[in-house]
Amino acid sequence: MSTPKTLFGFHAVGVRLKTAPQSMLEIFVDPSRRDARMRQFVERVAEVGVRLQEADGVRLARLCGSHGHQGVVARVNAIAQVHSLDELLEQLEAANQDLPVAERVQPLILVLDGVTDPHNLGACLRVADGAGAHAVIAPKDHAAGINATVAKVASGAAETVPYFMVTNLARTLNELKERNIWVIGTSDQATQTLYQADLKGPVALVLGAEGDGMRALTAKTCDQLVSIPMRGAVESLNVSVASGVCLYEALRQRLAVPPTVA
């Protein structure tokens, strides 16, 4: 039996309440908050039948380690997910095997190199979920892990998007390439822009942390480097914003693909 984890905030707790109510052990709410949003939330909890307890703001902050709980904290059991990137990709390959070419799902993966801020990671997971990415990958060293803050910022996406922390990022990128997944990194020095890249096939998009960007070995391992056009005074975007730009360009291209005959 895994150790229960903590979620907090309306979005993170609400998504779990909607998608996996059986995994919820108990929910704590601040009784001093009596606005419409809280009333509606409490009604949903009552409908589902999850145990509800009252707790003041001080106790809620102590439970989740943050004052950004919005008056809502939950103790939940972990949801079973795929255990490895290989397992995920094999499931995708198996699902595609008997489908016509036009209906096959092309892998879309976000790779984060050196993103240590939990708020940035949470925002990246949220945009990855929105764009339909199949997974987010990061190195075990010099990267943020999933915690309550990440789950809060991700607004439920930490529960829906597999997040794999790997020992050797360059080796993992080479393994993706062996599976015919094109590895595209972002770099200010790239001669091609994101909008000149073909993102319709199996793609892993690699983004580095703000400031330092990708490590040299990571950039060298990529099949292709592209830049995000910048027309203003600032030189770069926040990594979560850049992730959104890249992932949604991939989604735009995929939605624009005309049907093909198998």
pLDDT at site 175: 96
- The rounded average pLDDT for each run of 10 residues, N- to C-terminus, in the chain (262 residues) is 81 83 93 93 93 94 88 86 84 82 88 94 95 95 89 85 95 96 95 96 93 89 96 90 97 76 44
Tokens 């699902």 correspond to 95
Q: What amino acid is encoded at 104 in this protein?
A: R
Chain CA centroid to CA 217, Å: 24
The 3 state secondary structure assigned to the chain is: CCCCEEEECHHHHHHHHHHCHHHEEEEEECCCCCCHHHHHHHHHHHHHCCCEEECCHHHHHHHHCCCCCCCEEEEECCCCCCCCHHHHHHHHHHHHCCCCHHHCCCCEEEEEECCCCHHHHHHHHHHHHHHCCCEEEEECCCCCCCCHHHHHHHCCHHHHCCEEEECCHHHHHHHHHHCCCEEEEECCCCCEEHHHCCCCCCEEEEEEECCCECCHHHHHHCCEEEECCCCCCCCCCCHHHHHHHHHHHHHHHHHCCCCCCC
Cβ atoms of 137 and 175 within 8 Å: the answer is no
pLDDT at site 210: 74
pLDDT at site 262: 43
pTM score, whole prediction: 0.74
Put the strands of the sheet holding 72-76 in their side by side order. Answer: 5-8, 72-76, 24-29, 52-54
Cβ atoms of 209 and 116 within 8 Å: the answer is yes
pLDDT at site 179: 94
Question: How far apart are the C-alpha atoms of 215 and 98, rounded to whole Å?
Answer: 39
Question: How far apart are the C-alpha atoms of 146 and 149, rounded to whole Å?
Answer: 8
Q: What amino acid is encoded at 76 in this protein?
A: V
- Per the structure block, which two tokens stand in for 158? 């930490």
Question: How far apart are the C-alpha atoms of 90 and 92, rounded to whole Å?
Answer: 5
Cβ-proximal residues to 102 (8 Å cutoff; 6+ apart), any chain:
259, 260, 261, 262
